[in-house]
Amino acid sequence: MLVSLLNAAGHASSSLGYIRDSPETVWALASLSLFIDTFIYMLTVSMLPEILQDTMGASESANGVVTAMFGVGAVLGCFVSGILSDRIRERRGLQMISSLIYSVSGIVFYFSRHYYQILLFRLIDGIASGVACTLLYASIGDVYPANLLAFKVAIVYFCNNIAYTIGPICGQRLFDLAGVKGPAALVIALGLLKLVALFVFSNDSLAIRSVVRSHAYVSAADDSTFSKSHESVASMSIPTLIMQPPVIISTLSIVTSIGIQCMLEGLVPLHLVDKLNHDQDNGITFVILGLVFTLMVPIVGKVTDSLIEWRGEAMRYYAMMFGAVATVCSVLLMALANSYAVMMVGYAFFAVADLCMFIPAQSAYGDFVNGANTDSMARGYSISVFAWALGAISLPPIGTALYSRRCSGCGGWGSGINPGFGWGFGIPFASSATNQFGANNNFAHFNDDTLYINNKDATTANSNIGFNSV
């Protein structure tokens, strides 16, 4: 009996060891990490304006300041973690620290009674998000070669889409049931869940990397990616990385992709009303868009990997080029459409084109660092995270300003920073979907971190916002 128990314990230990050293585990935990990151942000989005305006008496412009605090924390977290992780050669430990930071943010939210406490909550949440997003992508880049990276990144975004969609619904339900303490307790629990999952199920991706180099994951075509010595030949600083052509191209692609996506989130509702007289949408436009994004993410990732395996790394950049051209065509189709159906065809086409720019670009950082054999994976992905923020911040105000000038008095929406750096993917107007499915009987319209509740017209409310964009 004792021998049987010992054998069973040994088998369980052996199985757990295999799981901890598996690249698939790194991939799965990265997907879980981004799901938790996005879910935490979206969980708390729906009730913040109600807390700020109705409970704390803050002005509506305070919503934009709260969004700005998240952005400040995220940029701080991504650059600090990127530099530190590469310098000390540690991924898992810093990700575990980010998990604790999530829980700390939840504790601050749980006891929030004043406006400055909400600002502190969002700042801490942003720091955790910046650390988590930088290192989860760096971990995937550590253990997968070029011909597999795009699909792995795409599946991570698939999990992000799910969190983006269900987060506001769950958050509003919990808030209705238990007030602030309900969502806050769940934020604390999710941070601890991620901490336990990382501690139990995975070793550091840099330790797994040394095993992967000689593993069957590396195809003959890509053997050079992981065939070099364990020690990297050099470490590139962030300024040096930014000046590398593959990094420049990928960064511009991400800024463009995310920026246009966020810009359209604000302009499409206005266009529906102003040109197509379609004012009874009730969120269905963005539900359709979210479904297209969710369905096409893994397909675009798989096709990108197949093209790279077939014709080499240059295909990644041809895919970005195709995405850029297709994006222009899709936006023109949307602008010239004279019916809702034609416009939605253009919007769906845009979703696919946007992914064709974004997915290859996001996987390019890891491939470049692997190919250059430099100890700068986390630094590379910190640039990627910053590119997301830059796109979400910079292009939407330009688009809304141009639209407002063309259509004086139409109003316009900016676009704040969306959770977990999954900006725009999933259902962009998540609270419109929340309202569509009956989670909240009040009129709710979500534009990143700005939610207008209690039967306020979104366009009118926007005119009172001091921060339309971070």
Q: Report which secondary-structure segment, H or E, holds 138.
A: helix 115-143
For residue 210 the two structure tokens come to: 């040394």
Which runs of consecutive H residues, i.e. helices, occur in 202-244?
Answer: 205-212, 223-226, 238-242
For 247, the token pair is 């990094």
Cβ neighbours around 410 below 10 Å, total: 16
Q: Exposed, middle or buried, 153 (CB in 10 Å: 0-12/13-18/19+)?
A: buried
Amino acid at 196: V
Residue 371 Cα distances to 90, 119, 287, angstroms: 20, 41, 39
**Is there a contact between 15 and 196 (Cβ–Cβ < 8 Å)?**
no
Q: Rounded to a whole number, what is the distance in angstroms from the first to the last CA of the chain?
A: 65
Residue 438 phi/psi, 5° resolution? 85, 15
Task: Give me the pLDDT at residue 214, please.
Answer: 57
Structure tokens at 263: 């810009």
DSSP state of 234: B
Spatial distance between the Cα atoms of 211 and 206, rounded to a whole number of angstroms: 9
CB contact set of 37 (below 8 Å; sequence gap of 6+): 102, 128, 129, 132, 133, 163, 419, 420, 421
Which pLDDT belongs to residue 198? Answer: 95
> What's the token pair of residue 38?
């996005």
Q: And the tokens for 213?
A: 């180099």
pLDDT at 298: 92
**Separation CA 449–CA 6 (nearest Å):** 54
Q: Which residues of the chain have pLDDT under 50?
A: 2-3, 5-6, 9, 216-231, 409-470
Angle subtended at Cα 276 by Cα 271 and Cα 282, rounded to the nearest 5 degrees: 75
Q: What pLDDT is attached to residue 448?
A: 39
Residue 160 tokens read as 């992000």
pTM for the predicted model, two decimal places: 0.78
pLDDT at 161: 84
**Cβ partners under 8 Å of residue 307, min gap 6:** 315, 316, 318, 319
Nearest one of 358, 379, 375 to 241, comparing CA atoms: 379
Report residue 31 as tokens: 């997907």
| Alpha-carbon gap, residue 34 to 106, rounded angstroms | 17
Among candidates 91, 192, 104, 99, which has minimal Cα distance to 134? Answer: 91
Torsion sign, CA atoms 360, 365, 368, 369:
negative
Closest CA to 113 of 59, 171, 64, 180: 180
Is residue 158 classed as helix, strand or coil in its secondary structure?
helix
What is the Cα–Cα distance from 91 to 84, expressed in whole angstroms?
Answer: 9
The predicted structure's pLDDT at residue 294: 87
* 459 touches 191 (CB < 8 A): no
Dist. CA 362–CA 323, nearest whole Å: 13
